[in-house]
Amino acid sequence: MKNSISGIYPASSLQQGFIYHAISQPDDDAYRVQLLLDYHDELDVDKYLQAWEYCIRKYPILRTSFNWEEELVQVVYNRGDLEYELHDISELKTQLARDEKIKSIQLLDRGHGFDLTKPSLFRLHIIKQSETLYTILKTDHHSIGDGWSGPALLKSLDSYYESLIVGDSIDVKEDVAYLETQEYIYTHKSVVSNYWDGILSEVEGANDINALLSNPIDLTSYRIVGNPGSNAIEIKGSVYEELKSFSQREGVTINVIVQFIWHKLLQVYSSSPHSIVGTTVSGRDLPIEGIEESVGLFINTLPLVVNWDNDNSILSQLHDIQKQITGLNSNSFADLSKLQKGEGRLFHSLFGFENYPMPKGTSSEVSKLSIRDAIEKVDYPLSIKAYEYSDVLTIELQYDGDYLTEEKANSHLVRLEDILDQVINTPDQLHSKISLLNSSEYDQVIHQWNSTDVDYPRDKTIYEMFESQVENVPDNIALVYEDKELTYNELNERSNELARHIRSSYKERTGNDLKPDTLIALCLDRSLEMIIGILGVLKAGGAYVPIDPDYPQDRIDYILEDTEAALVLSQRGVFKDRSTSLPEDRVVYIDLIEGFYQKEQPSNLPRYSRPTDLAYVIYTSGTTGKPKGVMVEHSSVVNLVFMQKEAFKLDTNFKVLQYASLVFDASVWEIFSALSFGSSLLIASKNVKEDTQLLSDYIERHQITIATIPPALLGVMKYKKQFNLKTLIVAGEITSSDVMKKWSVGRTLINAYGPTENTVCTTIYNYLLEDLNTNIGSPISNTRVYVLDKFKQVVPIGVIGELYIGGAGLSRGYLNNPNLTEERFIENPFATDEDREKGYTRLYRTGDLVRWLSDGNLEYIGRNDDQVKIRGYRIELGEIEYALRSIGRNHSELCYSQRARNRNRNN
């Protein structure tokens, strides 16, 4: 008899996903669901099979197949075929042998797919273990059923079987609720679509779950769990009773509470203002009679979006989630494939709360039946399944073992327990105050990895460090520029003479003695005078402010106005070929060739500065188009150079390349590392700096032993095996792995990181082959680093947060800008008594996004603002935009475009 069609309906969203997956990957068993049932009694196999035939007549989904010639549809037939196999393993002598045979049947069956164009899409294996113990293996394609359907189906099966055994008549009433549901979904599609458009309008994309994993994963292409694993915790006893009481008292379901703790973990680990989890909904909240007892794939997986921008209390956030879930259930038949924008997924983790519990090994509603095992695979690398049974809440984490270790999975479950405890006991606290670190983890990231204290001469200024080398190696070459050089003694004498000349010139022009923290500007071409000028200012008791002669006139004027510099050290030919100029009444010319100041005494001056006085003010890029002056003290520079001595093994035999412009603080790193320990400082001319071939030749010819070179330049610079470079430092921006591999051979390659606000350098990393090129290492001596979230809470290892810096290198802040200083320099909430004694009471908010690696090093991720790097130097897009506006309005669009790209890189 021909099997006629009784109805055709569009496939649901979840069915579409399952079917298309099966079509594209027919050998994958991801959506073959297996259930093993033990029947503890004699079984009349013929009547048992007949009972299944009645179930097929009752439930349309058991007579359903699929067709995708035009669009994917469910095809419901009037009849369905029951596929089954009988096995008798009762002759096997031991239970172990029988169990192994059952397992082999199960595995063999799992490897067989389904012909999706023919009903029925399930099959049975009836396995006789003994006269009073049968095992039934049911395998079906996930497209025809869900967990809610199982109890209803087995209850009907049991009823039919018992009726057949006792000879009662059977009246099969078709499950019309399933068919009515398909009609309802079809007629209400537009209403649901509008709801989801509103929910997802502000969502930019899925949470990056890599921080939760042990091994990185390409989330754009991940589709199959290759090595399924699972771990679980049980909430029971007094904790479970407290949870139930809290749920009832506060009017939130246990489902909502478990959703909250998983979303919170995901939000913290993804460093996102929102969390999106694929939430399994029953799909049975529709106004259709009998839907609760219907059999079919009603469930759907839809995005539950939780916003964490507002710092709500835990309780407020719980109620918000409950409202979200209510809305989601009312609009549960949306098509997920249409909700997702582009090819990317909306979420990378799943959550399911099962309130149809039939735990393994316990008796169900169906008499004489127990569940032996159930196998269902998912295609997401992380899933949470929670269910209540017998006063126990089980939270199970399912994962892909290729990307998450069992140890780390267990640690996540412990964190979920910790969050749950805080929810129950402190519901009125802000959700941002939830701690995900236990005491030992907190101690590790706050104290152990910040245990950087070492002695350094806190009582010395940076120029006194230089003077000590004059005594030690007076005849060593201190400076080299082109064909000119100065010994340590000669450099000291010239700078002493200039210092006296500066003090007398200042007195003459202002009528006052030069006091500490007086700012003296330097506007010099690359030359020996450049270094003489720095030392002269410091020895005179002032602080130097470098100005690039190539700056536009308005920037030069702004810096001179902001610093109120009464003196500007310069050379007579600096502006010969430039359109800019300096105010002549402030200029002090320091050309060596003319010897303007060499009539002064060459001996050391009295000490006019203390370690806590300013050494320099360097202007960095500003958001409003105006640069901001960072004020750095002597003691901070002394701490820096002592770190360099230990890290680079500096001594009197080193030749240090001076590459950076004075207006960038890398020059401080180069100049004082050399002059504080008797090394030679070789100043590259402008021509050499601008030509990579000339620079390469210069390094080789002068046998440079230590150099700091911007990564962008290093990438195009010619590599020579003859280089005598013992130590190469890269800093300022991410260096490509290929460049780091090439330049690390035969030398120490240091990846250094640090903002100007923390005296050049904050962390360093000794790069080894195959290391992360984004690894910026651990804090240098006497430095504190903290990785915090947007609410200034400590984040766990592996979680992205903003880097905050404190310690001996911290600058005073911004010159004449107390508001910005207050905004960027905050009180250190982690300072110990010892820290406070040393003055480590403040932190600088860097705006840099980083995360702790498990070995105590930091990985650089990107920026959380509008700064970009140009050849290693931080530039505010606002400043570029300000400059472009002076050219023409349309040019500023370039900055808006770059700002968007910059933010996308950091998300």
Tokens read off for 704: 């440079």
Largest interatomic CA distance in the chain? 126
Highest mean pLDDT among 623-627, 776-780, 869-873: 776-780
Residue type, 862: G
Q: How far apart are CA 123 and CA 472, in angstroms?
A: 91
Q: What is the mean pLDDT of the chain?
A: 90
- Superfamily of domain covering 459-473+488-635: ANL, N-terminal domain (3.40.50.12780)
DSSP label at residue 207:
P
Cβ count within 10 A of residue 875: 16
Q: What are phi and psi of 426, to 5 degrees?
A: -135, 55
Number of Cβ within 10 Å of residue 382's Cβ equals: 25
For residues 79-96, give the mean pLDDT: 96
Q: Which amino acid is residue 457, in one-letter code?
A: P
pLDDT at site 359: 39
| Tokens found for residue 499 | 């210092």
Verify cis geometry, omega within 30 degrees of 0, for the bond prior to 440.
no
Residue that is written with structure tokens 């992360």 in the block: 772
One-letter amino acid for residue 432 of the chain: S
What are the CA-CA distances from residue 332 to residues 15, 64, 707, 755 (Å)? 14, 22, 62, 50
CA-based end-to-end distance of the chain: 61
Position 223 pLDDT exceeds 80: no
In the predicted model, is pLDDT for residue 436 greater than 70? yes
Q: Output 726-735 pairs: Cβ under 8 A, ≥24 positions apart.
A: 726/654, 727/648, 729/669, 731/666, 731/761, 731/872, 732/666, 732/869, 732/871, 732/872, 732/873, 732/874, 733/869, 733/871, 733/872, 734/773, 734/774, 734/860, 735/711, 735/773
pLDDT tens per residue, range 287-313: 999 999 999 998 888 899 999 977 899
Q: Is 459-473+488-635 the same fold as 202-434?
A: no
- 623 within 8 A of 879, measured Cβ to Cβ: yes
Whether 177 contacts 329, CB under 8 Å: no
Cα–Cα distance between 787 and 801 in angstroms, integer?
5
Identify the helix (H) or strand (E) that includes residue 840: none
| Residue with the larger pLDDT of the pair 885 and 648 | 648
- The pTM for the full model equals 0.82
**CA 238/CA 793 separation, integer angstroms:** 30
Handedness of CA 274, 276, 279, 284 (dihedral sign): positive
Domain ranges for the chain: 5-174, 202-434, 459-473+488-635
Instruction: Look at residue 730 and tell me whether its pLDDT is greater than 60.
Output: yes
Q: Give the β-pairing of 614-620 and 587-589.
A: unpaired
With bands split at pLDDT 50, 70 and 90, how would you rate the model's confidence at 90? Answer: very high
Phi–psi pair at 603, nearest 5 degrees: -75, 165
Q: What is the mean pLDDT of residues 466-490?
A: 98
**In angstroms, rounded to a whole number, what is the distance separating the alpha carbons of residues 88 and 92?**
9
Question: Which of the residue ranges 188-202, 277-291, 777-791 has the most confident prediction, judged by mean pLDDT?
Answer: 777-791
Lowest mean per-residue pLDDT among 1-10, 301-310, 778-787, 875-884:
875-884
659: which 2 tokens?
Answer: 């590459």
Residue with the bigger pLDDT between 891 and 538: it is: 538
Instruction: Name the burial class of residue 854, with classes exposed (0-12), middle (13-18) and buried (19+) by CB atoms within 10 angstroms of its CB.
Output: exposed
Q: Which residue has the tokens 């079509």?
A: 23
782 token code pair: 């006497």
Got the DSSP string for 648-701?
A: HT--TT-EEEE-S-TTSTHHHHHHHHHHTTT-EEEEPPHHHHT-HHHHHHHHHH
Share of the chain above pLDDT 90, in %: 74
pLDDT at 31: 86
Cβ–Cβ < 8 Å for 72, 20: yes
- Using CA atoms, how far apart are residues 356 and 106, in angstroms rounded to an integer? 24
Query: Is the CB of residue 279 less than 8 Å from the CB of residue 321?
Result: no
Chain center to CA of 836: 31
CATH architecture of 5-174: 2-Layer Sandwich (3.30)
- Dist. CA 543–CA 295, nearest whole Å: 81
154 φ/ψ angles, rounded to the nearest 5 degrees? -70, -30
721 Cβ contact partners less than 8 Å away, ≥ 6 residues apart: 746
Spell out the long-range contacts of 720-726 with Cβ–Cβ below 8 A and sequence spacing 24 or more.
720/696, 721/746, 723/699, 723/747, 724/700, 725/699, 726/654
CA distance 37 to 374: 9
- Coil/strand/helix, residue 24: helix
- Rounded Cα gap, residues 790 and 802, in angstroms: 8
Closest residue by Cα to residue 327 from 202, 192, 205: 192
Element housing 479 (H / E): strand 477-481
Whether 140 contacts 121, CB under 8 Å: yes
- Integer-rounded Cα Rg, in Å, for the chain is 37
- Say how far apart CA 525 and CA 571 lie, in whole Å: 8
Q: Contact 399/381 with Cβ under 8 angstroms?
A: yes
pLDDT tens digit string along 831-840?
A: 999 999 999 9
What is the CB neighbour count within 10 angstroms for residue 319?
15
pLDDT of residue 343: 64
Pick 621 or 703 by higher pLDDT: 703
Query: Which two three-digit tokens encode residue 658?
Result: 């001076």
Nearest partner of 354 among 148, 546, 191, 494, judged by Cα: 148
What CATH architecture is 202-434? 2-Layer Sandwich (3.30)
Lowest mean pLDDT, pick from 2-11, 228-237, 370-379: 370-379
Angle CA(547)–CA(548)–CA(551) in degrees, nearest 5?
Answer: 105
- 783-788 and 587-589 beta bridge pairing: unpaired
Least confident range from 222-236, 241-255, 346-360, 597-611: namely 346-360
Cβ–Cβ under 8 Å, residues 84 and 125: yes
pLDDT of residue 1: 46
What pLDDT is recorded for position 21? 85
Nearest-angstrom CA–CA distance, 803 and 843: 10
The listed range with the strongest mean pLDDT (530-534, 648-652, 741-745) is 530-534
* C-alpha to C-alpha distance for 268 and 75, rounded to whole angstroms: 45
